[in-house]
Amino acid sequence: MRGAYPHLPRGRALLYVLLTAAYVASPVDAIPDVFPVIGWTDDAGVLMWALRGMVRESGRFVEWERAGGPPAVGRGR
């Protein structure tokens, strides 16, 4: 939240979330949603790809924080 994590700028993370939400909500898809079940698979695939990326980056953040990321608010340096 403080923007101290240098490997993923806050704006880029927000952009990924917004683009994923826009694709899932958009009526324009690679496979139209008119076709039941199969039309939803591309939406599910994009959503799974985005969630996988967030989980992977969360793990990297935890490793970075444990390796000596910036001190937490309220603690001395």
Q: Provide the pLDDT for residue 72.
A: 55
pLDDT of residue 4 exceeding 80: no
**pLDDT at 77 exceeding the cut of 50:** no
- Residue 2's pLDDT is 66
Tell me the pTM: 0.69
Closest-CA residue to 16 (of 60, 44, 42, 47): 47
pLDDT digits (tens, 9 = 90+) for 10-65: 778 888 899 999 988 888 888 887 888 888 888 899 999 999 988 988 888 888 88
What's the pLDDT score for residue 58?
86
Question: CA 3, 15, 64 angle in degrees (round to 5)?
Answer: 35
